[in-house]
Amino acid sequence: MRVLTIIAALTASTLLGGWSFDRQGPYCLQDRQSTNCGYPSLQACVVTTRGAGGYCYPNPKYVEERRYTEPRPRRSKSR
């Protein structure tokens, strides 16, 4: 019963929220050992390179999230 509850909880969290570590940022940090593309700004990436070394570049796989906007009301045609 516990196993079923744990499986249900993991399934629900995956379907509803997704995994947080798979989120890509617009900038990547490349160093000798790895690549991290989770930086939200170029400034945040550059600050990290000062301590860790490496270099920053734009993430070629980044797709900006779409934001919902309210539709504009239609103008009525008056004749």
Q: Can you point out the beta strands (E) in the chain?
A: 27-30, 35-39, 55-58
The pLDDT value recorded for residue 56 is 95
Query: 79 in a domain, yes or no?
Result: no
Query: 9 in a domain, yes or no?
Result: no
The pLDDT value recorded for residue 17 is 54
Give the torsion through C-alpha atoms of 37, 38, 41, 47, to 10 deg: -90
pLDDT band at 74 (very low <50, low <70, confident <90, very high): confident
Query: 70 in a domain, yes or no?
Result: no
- Total domains in the chain come to 1
Contact between 61 and 37 (Cβ < 8 Å):
yes
pLDDT in tens, 4-63: 777 777 666 655 555 555 678 899 999 999 999 999 999 999 999 988 789 999 999 888
Give me the domain span that covers residue 43.
Answer: 24-62
Choose among 69, 73, 29, 36: nearest CA to 53: 29
Query: 28 in a domain, yes or no?
Result: yes
The pLDDT value recorded for residue 69 is 76
Query: 71 in a domain, yes or no?
Result: no
The pLDDT value recorded for residue 13 is 61
Q: What span, in angstroms and rounded, lies between the C-alpha atoms of 26 and 58?
A: 6
Query: 15 in a domain, yes or no?
Result: no
